[in-house]
């Protein structure tokens, strides 16, 4: 089972290579070398992490090192080290001008991540009879490929890579660290918190692979995911100033919808005898209440995005997107004061909340 999981990232990277190769000039031999050097980087990373953790007595698990120790190990060691080593593998291709587009950069970065992930999976000490441990290994696979693909896409697509690549790398590193902290550091009851992040990964990957293809005619254009270039064009509208009042109004509307939907979820849960007191991350039974409450929170974002886009007669997505970011920030602050463990859940749903808000606004914007 372990070797099957170790081969999974390589299979996914191969499928991605075949999908993009139809439209881009890619070298199978070069991708193979990138995956090989990614595997060597993965072996070096595993060794370095074990040495540092043994020397500092830190651990990725909260139950062993405490919350602060696990966060330090993840965000000061594992996340920056792993993403930096992947960049080190891909960077020579950029210097030799072998990465000419966003999708080419995505494929080669994913190849490096696939080799990295395959070795890390093979070397991770998990018993074959540990179902939760194997699930953690399985969940870690798509994150390696996706977050490497984000900065790889930015490296190939952005002309001024010095700025956009650095931003993409920093965001990828932080989100990957958050993802790994939930998967490896927290109890099995919180594993459901990565479901929104997995959905976000799937949606962004589809958008990236669409390239610059035009959307189909209505009504399919409303449900077909747009390309990243189309979303980027809607987010930038230099012809008019940002409407701050609609950002604040959108945040207030979203918060109001969240309160209403969460209250409705609690009523629905009580009717079906769902025990919301099972808020223990070590208990898998916590998944049910978390899924219900998480769905209630996320449902507010597309509705709010649509309402703000229609009410403001906007032609872009900037105001609804900014309103979603402001809402998530307010939720993080409130949860930090009331229930600090809820901050992890809020940060985990933040990417897909932003995506849902933009999706609702995409339907509502004037074209």
Model confidence band, residue 134 (pLDDT cutoffs 50, 70, 90): confident
Tell me the C-alpha distance between 46 and 81, whole Å.
10
pLDDT in tens, 295-313: 999 999 999 999 888 887 7
Query: Per-residue pLDDT for 183 more than 80?
Result: yes
SS3 per-residue string spanning the chain: CHHHHHHHHHHHHHHHHHHHHCCCCCCHHHHHHHHHHHHHHHHHHHHHHHHHHHHHCCCCCHHHHHHHHHHHHHHHHHHHHHHHHHHHHHHHHHHCCCCCCHHHHHHHHHHHHHHHHHHHHHHCCCCCCCHHHHHHHHHHHHHHHHHHHHHHHHHHHCCCHHHHHHHHHHHHHHHHHHHHHHHHHCCHHHHHHHHHHHHHHHHHHHHHHHCCCCCCCCCHHHHCCCCHHHHHHHHCCCCCCCCHHHHHHHHHHHHHHHHHHHHHHHHHHHHCCCCCCCCCCCCHHHHHHHHHHHHHHHHHHHHHHHHHHHHCCCCCCHHHHHHHHHHHHHHHHHHHHHCCHHHHHHHHHHHHHHHHHHHHHHHHCCC
Mean pLDDT calculated for residue range 213-217: 47
Note the pLDDT of residue 225: 66
Query: Per-residue pLDDT for 318 more than 90?
Result: no
User: Who wins on pLDDT, 214 or 332?
Assistant: 332
Tell me the C-alpha distance between 226 and 361, whole Å.
12
Do the Cβ atoms of 94 and 8 come closer than 8 Å? no
User: Who wins on pLDDT, 68 or 211?
Assistant: 68
pLDDT > 70: percent of the chain: 86
SS3 per-residue string spanning 122-143: HHCCCCCCCHHHHHHHHHHHHH
Helix axes 102-123, 131-157, angle to 10 degrees: 150
Please classify residue 356 by burial: count the beta carbons closer than 10 Å to its beta carbon, then call 0-12 exposed, 13-18 middle and 19+ buried.
buried
Query: Per-residue pLDDT for 314 more than 50?
Result: yes
- By residue count, the chain amounts to 367
Query: Per-residue pLDDT for 237 more than 90?
Result: no
Q: How many CB atoms lie within 10 A of CB 352?
A: 23
Domain boundaries, the chain: 2-185, 220-364
User: 26 φ, ψ to 5°?
Assistant: -120, 150
Note the pLDDT of residue 113: 97
The pTM (predicted TM-score) of the whole model is: 0.88
Mean pLDDT calculated for residue range 130-137: 85
Mean pLDDT calculated for residue range 149-161: 81
Query: Per-residue pLDDT for 44 more than 80?
Result: yes
User: Who wins on pLDDT, 34 or 66?
Assistant: 34
Q: And the tokens for 80?
A: 């920056």
Model confidence band, residue 214 (pLDDT cutoffs 50, 70, 90): very low
Note the pLDDT of residue 36: 97
Note the pLDDT of residue 219: 46
């Amino acid at each position: 089972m372990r070797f099957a999981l170790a081969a999974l990232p390589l299979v996914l990277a191969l499928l991605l290579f075949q999908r993009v190769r139809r439209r881009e000039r890619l070298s199978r031999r070069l991708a193979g070398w990138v995956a090989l050097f990614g595997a060597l980087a993965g072996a070096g990373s595993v060794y370095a992490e074990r040495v540092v953790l043994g020397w500092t007595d830190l651990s990725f698990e909260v139950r062993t090192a405490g919350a602060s120790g696990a966060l330090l190990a993840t965000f000061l060691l594992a996340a920056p080290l792993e993403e930096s080593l992947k960049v080190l593998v891909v960077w020579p291709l950029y210097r030799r001008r072998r990465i000419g587009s966003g999708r080419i950069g995505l494929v080669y970065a994913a190849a490096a991540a696939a080799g990295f992930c395959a070795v890390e999976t093979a070397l991770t000490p998990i018993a074959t009879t540990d179902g939760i441990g194997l699930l953690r290994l399985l969940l870690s696979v798509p994150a390696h490929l996706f977050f490497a693909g984000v900065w790889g896409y930015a490296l190939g697509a952005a002309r001024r890579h010095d700025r956009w690549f650095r931003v993409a790398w920093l965001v990828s590193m932080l989100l990957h660290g958050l993802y790994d902290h939930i998967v490896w550091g927290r109890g099995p009851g919180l594993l459901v918190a990565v479901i929104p992040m997995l959905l976000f990964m799937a949606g962004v990957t589809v958008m990236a692979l669409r390239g610059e293809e035009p959307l189909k005619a209505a009504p399919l254009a409303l449900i077909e995911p747009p390309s990243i270039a189309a979303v980027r064009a809607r987010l930038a509208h230099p012809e008019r100033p940002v409407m701050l009042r609609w950002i604040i109004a959108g945040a207030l509307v979203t918060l109001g919808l969240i309160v209403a939907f969460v209250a409705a979820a609690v009523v629905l849960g009580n009717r079906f005898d769902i025990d919301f007191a099972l808020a223990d991350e070590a208990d898998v039974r916590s998944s049910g209440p978390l899924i219900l409450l998480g769905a209630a929170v996320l449902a507010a974002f597309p509705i709010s995005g649509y309402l703000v886009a229609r009410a403001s007669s906007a032609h872009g997505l900037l105001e609804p997107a900014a309103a979603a970011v402001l809402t998530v920030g307010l939720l993080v602050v409130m949860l930090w004061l009331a229930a600090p463990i809820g901050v992890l859940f809020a940060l985990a749903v933040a990417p897909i909340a932003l995506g849902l808000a933009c999706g609702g606004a995409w339907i509502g914007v004037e074209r």
